[in-house]
Structure 1
Amino acid sequence: MAFTYDVDRRWLTTAIDLSRLSPPSPSHYAVGAVIVDRHGTALATGYTGESHPAHHAEEAALAKLAGHRDLDLAGATMYSSLEPCTTRRSRPTSCTHLILTAGIGRVVLALREPSLFADCEGVRILADGGVAVVEHPGLGDLVRDVNAHLLAPAV
């Protein structure tokens, strides 16, 4: 399957919709994530706080694939409403590191992480690690709306 602008936008919108399930918190962003295989099939989804208050969306989605050792994720895409983190207060491993370790070949995001909690370098670290990174900033306002409890709307 070819990942086109329209396909990416549809899956990224799904990730943003998932982020709405995350309970608003003053200590973390509401983020949604979807992992899609090379054929366009969703393998796993996650959102911030889905199974534990400290779990990030990407972490939650990847955890659902943990028992599937035969999966080749090199052709998979991780759709994340917000740039995957590079530092965390709540856990020792960042989402960026988890994505690199899983071997996911492509990440699509709507908004780079604002520097409210940490300076994030997810886009750079993923790209340096050989991951293709695609940004769809046109969907960034939707992510800001979901996180209005933390972020002022873009002017």
Structure 2
Amino acid sequence: MTGRDSIDHRWLRAAVDLSRRCPSKPTAYAVGAIVVARDGAELARGYSRETDEHVHAEQSALGKLAGTGVDLSGATIYSSLEPCSVRAHASPTCTQLILVAGIRRVVLAMREPLGFVDCQGVELLEAAGVEVVEMPEFADEVRLINAHVPLDPDPRSLP
């Protein structure tokens, strides 16, 4: 494992662990997200339903940085699940929030399963020039954490 892979593994492990704090809801995934600066310092973290039943993990983490003036152009956001590209209860989407924040790198454990919507977060981020790294070695654990929701695998993630 290279240095960057090791760092990504450590931060994504923390995001997956954070997702365990999400209040259970049968129609929503448990997700953890952590924003890390270019220098490796943690900037913010959040998890789904942390402050409201409709708050997503990335939204929670990025919301803590709103108005701080922190430059996120060199930051990475680690998320246990693909950032949403469709919202049933609010907007903007987590994908839009990441793009507006100027984050240029996203590391995730797995893509959103085809259970509720056809999420296009990875495709939209990549189309905008964001580097997206998927670490499928965490996928089984994320599925287990989300056993309360139907998790059909996304065929885009299959070999």
TM-score bracket, normalised by the shorter chain, equals: over 0.9
* Counterparts in 2 of 1:128 and 1:3: CA distance versus 1, 3 Å: farther
Q: Give 5+ residue unaligned stretches, structure 1.
A: none
In 2, Cα distance between the equivalents of 1:64 and 1:3?
A: 28
Displacement of 1:105? 1.0
Kindly report which structure 2 residues correspond to 1:1-155, keeping only aligned pairs within 5 A, or say none: 4-69=4-69, 71-151=70-150
Q: Is the 8 A contact 1:35 1:61 kept in 2?
A: yes
Give the Å deviation of 1:152. 5.6
Superimposed CA distance per residue, residues 17-50 of structure 1 (whole angstroms, 9 cap, x where no aligned partner): 1100001111110000000000000000000000
Aligned residues: CA RMSD: 1.5
For structure 2, list consecutive stretches of 5 or more residues without a partner in the other structure.
154-159
Whole-angstrom distance in 2 between the partners of 1:52 and 1:3: 37
Tell me, in whole angstroms, the C-alpha distance in 2 between the residues paired with 1:152 and 1:114: 5
Say how many residue pairs are matched.
152
- Taking structure 1 as the reference length, the TM-score comes to 0.94
Give the conservation status (yes or no) of the 8 Å contact 1:104–1:131: yes
**Counterpart secondary structure, 1:6:** helix
**Percent pairwise identity:** 53
Deviation, structure 1 residue 151: 3.6
Runs of 4+ with deviation above 2 angstroms: 151-154
For 1:21, the aligned partner's letter is: R
